[in-house]
Structure 1
Amino acid sequence: MFENLLYQNAASLIGDDIAAGRLPQALLFAGPAMSGKLTAALETARVLSCSGSPKGLWQCTCPSCLKHKSLVSPDLLLAGSRDCTLEIAAAAKTLKTAAQNNASYITAARYLFVRSVRKLTARFNQVLWEGDEKVSKIAAITSVIDEHLEEADPLRPLQELSDLEKTLETLTAQCLKLESSFMYDSIPVSQIRKASSWARLTAAEGKRVLIFEHADRMQDSVKNALLKILEEPPADAFFILTAERKNAVLPTILSRVRTYTFNERTAERQKEAVQRIFHEEGCESIAAYLNGFLPASAEEIEKEAFAFTDSLRHGDVPDIDALVKRLKNFEPRIMLSIFFDGVLKAVSQTQKTADAANSEPDGHSETAQDARHFAQGSRSEAAQLAYRKRISDAVQRSYEDIRVYNQSPVSALESLAYAFLEEAFSLAS
């Protein structure tokens, strides 16, 4: 039970509560990114429905466990935003390498890849999307993914290497298209209501489990709709929420869940996790390993963010079309987070340089003068805080315009650029 959840004390606590029959119907798994919260949630769902003896072993071959291990159980519903495509690319590499070397872990690699894909496609379950105007476009992509994913199923004979490579390439491309085009940044309230109706149906086997990722990112209307379900949960349904910031979850929701805390793994344990999961040596963390599958490195993306901000600091609008092309249209969308974090970091550093220049009357370097000019007017602490808040809000709006309202990155960055210039003009006037 929970053999695939590495170095988290929460695993034994959850397992003990299941074994003792004292697991509540509403749970919160809280902790940093890459700490295994979704792995724990999926494993909890499997163990709750396991009919094997002893209950919950990963090697169990009961019908329910086989479905849960392949993430095709009709009693599991998964919702919430997630950057899935880097894990899919990493799992594809693991499977390809295992097949090339006829490795002993080939079956585990096949499960790793299949599960990584279905962590994405499960979020597009018809239960959640019925009636949505995008459902036909989504179905066109998921049908292609499902067709090709059958070839990678661990219960089927393994394809010849050349055919397997084509299958992996097709699936990786289709998954990127699905995630970039249709993944919501926050669960729509309509999906919470549909999930609530689904939870009241009788389970096919065992228990119905609903997993909602990023409960800390939910909009207020969504949080309130979720609260209504948790107040009177159906008898055979379990609700598992995940969050990176527990304090961002509604207090009324916290009062109705049992929280299991997940901790940041040490650097050494993260290295071991990468080795055991992806069979790669020497990587310092899971996040660093996955970011290695970005079309541009995190360092390159941050460098572009600094150059973007630097152009605006000089009063110039950069070539945004070229920027977006260099960064592959920000696909996968995690590149947006890295870029906008870089913009905020650049602004913060410019402000610090300006503060230092203002405190030294003889600071005549070009850098100091540029920084002082860009941030002039922010002489008081209150003015500095207000300036940073307005810039931060502008960055957040641009991010949401892309992720929530599906605006093109070019249009969103153009709006952000002019927001920067307006701020600079207002400070100078």
Structure 2
Amino acid sequence: MFENLLEQPAVISRLTHDLQTGSLPSSILFHGPDYSGKMTAALELARALTCHSEGAPWNCSCHSCNSHRLLEHPFIIMTGGRYFYEEIAASAQPLANREDQVFRFMFVRNVRKLLRRFDNVLWEGDTSKLKKNQPQLTSVTDKIELFLPDRDLPSEKKREKLLKDILADCKKLAAAVPASTPINHIRKISAWAHRAGERKVVILENADYMQEGARNALLKILEEPPANLHFILLTTRIGAILPTIKSRVRAYGFSGRTEEQSKLVIKRIFRVDENPYHSLREFFLSHHDIDYSELKKLAELFIKSSREKNTAFRDVVPGKFEREMFIPFLEELTLALNRFMKDAQGNGVNTAVLTRIARWNSKIREYAGNFEILNQSHELLLESLYYEMKR
């Protein structure tokens, strides 16, 4: 088990022990930075929990495991947002001129991580919301079948066109996935979980992003969980999880990967021997049509301008700021602030400066939530953040 989870030995050891001794609780929480393997671990754990063979071996060929490998298993639900497009684009690139089975599996799985967010269980009765995405859902579902490992791949020229079309549709679908799991999804998951049947697994990403109603609905399920149901919550911010929820789950911490470990993962998974990337984040974001070097410059300019009284927002951001750049920019700004804080601590800067940086980081998290959960204007949030940093 967990052969595909790289550079997380402590997590693998704990999960394997808890599975083998039968001490794994029904509700668990994976916490750690983005790109640390939380979803990889969650999917492999879901496979092991529903495997029909003793010990859930990695190469098990039971019907349940075969369904899991292609993310077709009927008793697994995935909800919450993630970096869908970057992940899909990264796995599509090698398929343009290579036919390896491993790349086909990886591409199909990454696309279906997105498609499973539109499962009927989650959207039953909300057909109006699905209607505008139905053309893309149908198109991607049909086209992805051509890349299944047991099929003859289309010609290289046709493959290039198919991949381009799939990526374009996936980009639209990814934008339609709620960043946080809404309360109606939690209620539908509860109804689904109480139906008789085999063991079920719910993987809930961005558990820290849920609004109060959704959190309370989730808490009710965790307090009285149905038989044969496992919840796997994922978060990058364990401190933002309600204490009442944390008290009902067992937490497993994932460590951030070093530059060396990131390069190893890129080499092992994507077969890229030489790469200029310092982290998995850089690698995945390189597959997005955003100039991240410009975002990095803008983040540094925000910090510099915070110390200049007479610099207006439009002096720093003179033109239109695209919606899809907002969250990547906040991530770059957070990284820049963390670098600044590290340097400040090394140079013995007073605590007032460190307190100010901590306040900025708190505002960044708040504005990210306002954008992704409350759908507030990214341009107004960006300008508000700029002036908050000048206070």
Structure 2-normalised TM-score? Answer: 0.84
- CA–CA separation in structure 1 for the residues paired with 2:75 and 2:204: 14
Q: 1:200 aligns with which of 194, 197, 200?
A: 194
Q: How many angstroms does 1:240 deviate by?
A: 0.8
1:56-113 Cα shifts (integer Å, max 9, x gaps): 23322221111111111110001112111111110001222423xxxxxx11111111
The corresponding residue for 2:215 is 223
Equivalent position of 2:129 in the other structure:
134
Q: CA deviation at 1:263?
A: 1.8
Cα distance change, pair 289–97 in 1 and its aligned pair in 2 (3 A): farther
Residue 172 of structure 2: which of 169, 172, 177 is its match?
177
Shift of 1:269: 2.2
Quote the Cα distance in structure 2 between the aligned partners of 1:50 and 1:25.
Answer: 16
The answer as to whether partners of 1:312 and 1:417 remain within 8 angstroms in 2 is no
Partner residue of 2:73?
Answer: 73
Q: Does 1:35 align with 2:36?
A: yes
Question: 2:312: which partner in 1?
Answer: 315
Of 248, 260, 263, which aligns to 1:271? 263
CA distance in 2 between counterparts of 1:242 and 1:119 reads 14
Amino acid at match of 1:83: Y
1:260 aligned to which of 232, 235, 252:
252
Question: Are residues 1:232 and 2:224 paired?
Answer: yes
Map of 1:371 onto structure 2: none
Once residues 358 and 62 of structure 2 are traced to their aligned partners in structure 1, the CA distance between those partners, rounded to angstroms, is 56
C-alpha contact 1:291 1:297 (8 A) present in aligned 2? no
1:272-301 Cα deviation digits (max 9, x unpaired): 111111111244322221121132342211
Equivalenced residues, count: 380
User: 1:164-207, CA deviations, whole angstroms, 9 ceiling, x for partnerless residues?
Assistant: 11111111111111112x1222211111111111111233xx41
* 1:157 corresponds to 2:152: yes
How far apart in 1 are the matches of 2:163 and 2:362? Answer: 40
**Which of the numbers 98, 102, 106 marks the counterpart of 1:108?**
102
Change (3 A) 1:29 1:422: closer
> 1:312 touches 1:318 (CA, 8 Å); kept in 2?
no
Residue equivalent to 1:404: 373
Conserved? CA contact 1:302–1:338, under 8 Å: no
Moved more, 220-229 or 54-63: 54-63
Q: Using the alignment, how far apart are the partners of 1:129 and 1:321 within structure 2? A: 41
Shift, 1:405, TM fit: 4.1
Match of residue 302, structure 1, among 283, 289, 296: 296
1:117 is matched with which residue?
111
Deviations 1:102-160 (A, max 9, x none): xxxx1111111111111112122221123334221132321111011111112222221
**Rounded Cα–Cα distance in structure 2 between residues aligned with 1:68 and 1:34:** 21
Residue 394 to residue 14, structure 1, CA distance change in 2 (3 Å): closer
Tell me which of 379, 382, 391 is aligned to 1:413.
Answer: 379
Seen in structure 2, the aligned counterparts of structure 1 residues 261 and 285 have a Cα distance that, compared at 3 Å, is same
Identity %: 36
User: Which segments of 5 or more consecutive residues in structure 1 lack a partner in the other structure?
Assistant: 100-105, 349-355, 357-379
Highest Rg: 1 or 2? 1
**Equivalent position amino acid for 1:29 in 2:** F
Shift of 1:320: 6.2
Coordinate RMSD, CA, aligned: 3.4
CA-to-partner distance for each residue in 1:278-334, whole Å, 9 max, x for gaps?
A: 11124432222112113234221122345578599523635968443xxxx343764
Q: Is contact 1:298–1:338 with CA below 8 Å preserved after alignment?
A: no
- SS in structure 1 at match of 2:233: strand
SS at 2:98's partner residue? Answer: helix
Q: Assess if the C-alpha contact under 8 Å between 1:27 and 1:258 holds in 2.
A: yes
Which amino acid letter does the alignment assign opposite residue 109 of structure 1?
F
Pick aligned residue for 2:331 from 333, 338, 347: 338
Give the TM-score, by structure 1 length: 0.77
